[in-house]
Amino acid sequence: MLLRRLLPAALGLCLGVGVPRAARAQETPAGAPAAEALRVFLDCNTFCDTEFIRREITYVNWVRDRQDADVHLIITSQSTGGGGREYRLRYLGLRAFRGADDELTFTTRQSDTDDEIRRQQTQRIGLGLARYVARGSNADRLRLTFSAPESTGVAPAQQPHDPWNLWVFRLGMNGFFSGESQAKQSNISGSARASRVSEAWKFSLSMSANRRHSNITLSDSSVFKSTTSRYSAGLLLARSMGDHWSLGLQGSVLRSTIENYDLNVQLTPEVEYDVFPYKESSRRQFVLVYAAGLTYSNYQDTTIFDKLRETLPSHSFTAAAEAVQPWGDLDGRLVLSSLLNDFTKNRISIFGSCEIRLIRGLNLNVGGGYSRVRDQLSLLKTGLSDEDILLRLKQLKTSYFYNGFVGLSYNFGSKFNNVVNPRFTHTGGGGGNCECFGGSCFCN
């Protein structure tokens, strides 16, 4: 009878089965090597200083693939009304922690430096990981500290005083200059923005200016000079109508030598519906927007339709989807637009990109866009010179345009990603290499 009881236990000990993992870890004899730390896969879809995070949080094992992890950490962000960002940390439990999901949010200010942001990120990441570490074999090594604020004897107000009343302003100016013996160019631009965002209302007003000048010496020693300019302003006023609906008004003013506009003014009311609640926007969105308005155009030169000025009604429909999920990222947009008084003047545009984790270590990155163009109303009636075409000084006639990118990446080798070694990062000999496709960049 005793033999029959001891035999299954002996087999279980030899084969490593029959005893729960947590129980085996607790029964580790004193002096034996410590059990492996919590494995975490970091999936950052916004600004993250991953080297800093790995250097500061050393009580977990950072792994390169989701399939090796105990916790999948997804970090996303979206802009706030004050010019900062709201970061959302999603902890997805895997393996022994399956079903133990969690979520934390925190907000940064527009004035925060990159160092302040990465320190806030690291502190919040650590707080979120504490519940998982506390359930593991390293729980006895975990300590939680708290820095109490200095007591003023006065209870804090529920709503802090804001002398700016949620208004945020931003001014910017940039200059770019380059030259060689036979070519010189300069580009000067400036911008200004004012915005106010509350739970019920969203308002923004932006302005920008750009002027580019080039001098090029040709083969016959003559000098070709060109100057282009673009000045624009945009307005957005939106009113929240609940968890799914919003009303908006968009306006714009444009003057552009390239697009043949002496003055172009648009005013467009809009209605938006999000299939998912707005509070989930950092994780997923599926938005439907309908807009209808008027456009006034005063052209610099006569167009191919023999117009120097005109006022036209137009409308558009937009369907846009975004998702950040454990299997990857998805972003797509479909835009249909036309004149209300002439449906033959229309445009159909579709854009999309995605990153999909196919199998362990293998990622697929693909994206692109296509537009069928039937609404180029400002094209010049007179022909373009070779210089206009080669240097893109004027808008070119087209019936379509497209772009695309596709890429595969495969990582294999050690599953751990703990070590940080920044030596020779900036000399092209040890890291910092990036490849960019269609506006998306992938860096070692």
Q: Identify whether the C-beta of residue 377 lies closer than 8 Å to the C-beta of residue 412.
A: no
The contacts of residue 77 (CB under 8 Å, 6+ apart) are 45, 46, 47, 85, 86, 87, 88, 282
- 3-state SS, residue 390: helix
Q: Identify whether the C-beta of residue 431 lies closer than 8 Å to the C-beta of residue 419.
A: no
Q: First vs last Cα of the chain: how many Å apart?
A: 61
pLDDT at position 6 is: 44
**253-259 CB contacts, 8 Å cutoff, 24+ apart:** 254/230, 255/229, 255/230, 255/231, 256/229, 256/230, 256/231, 256/232, 257/227, 257/228, 257/229, 257/230, 257/300, 257/393, 257/394, 258/228, 258/230, 258/392, 258/393, 258/394, 258/395, 259/230, 259/378, 259/395
Name the residue with tokens 């006034």. Answer: 296
pLDDT at position 425 is: 55
**393-396 CB contacts, 8 Å cutoff, 24+ apart:** 393/226, 393/228, 393/257, 393/258, 394/257, 394/258, 394/260, 395/258, 395/259, 395/260
Report pTM: 0.68
Q: Which two tokens stand for residue 354?
A: 């995605």
Give the strand pairing for 85-93 and 167-180: unpaired
pLDDT at position 173 is: 95
Q: Which two tokens stand for residue 163?
A: 């002398």
Nearest-Å Rg of the Cα atoms of the chain is 29
Q: Which element (helix H / strand E) includes 2?
A: helix 2-15
Q: Identify whether the C-beta of residue 3 lies closer than 8 Å to the C-beta of residue 114.
A: no
pLDDT at position 420 is: 57
CA distances from 279 to 138, 238, 302 (A): 35, 16, 48
Rounded CA separation 43/54 (Å): 13
Mean pLDDT by 10 residues, the chain (444 residues): 44 37 36 66 88 86 87 89 84 90 89 84 92 83 74 50 83 94 94 90 95 91 92 95 94 96 97 90 87 97 94 96 83 95 96 87 90 93 82 88 91 68 55 44 45
pLDDT at position 361 is: 75
Q: What angle do CA 66, 72, 77 make, to 5 degrees?
A: 120
Task: Please state the φ and ψ torsions of residue 111, each to the nearest 5 degrees.
Answer: -85, -5
Q: Which two tokens stand for residue 44?
A: 């950052």
Q: Which two tokens stand for residue 42?
A: 């970091």
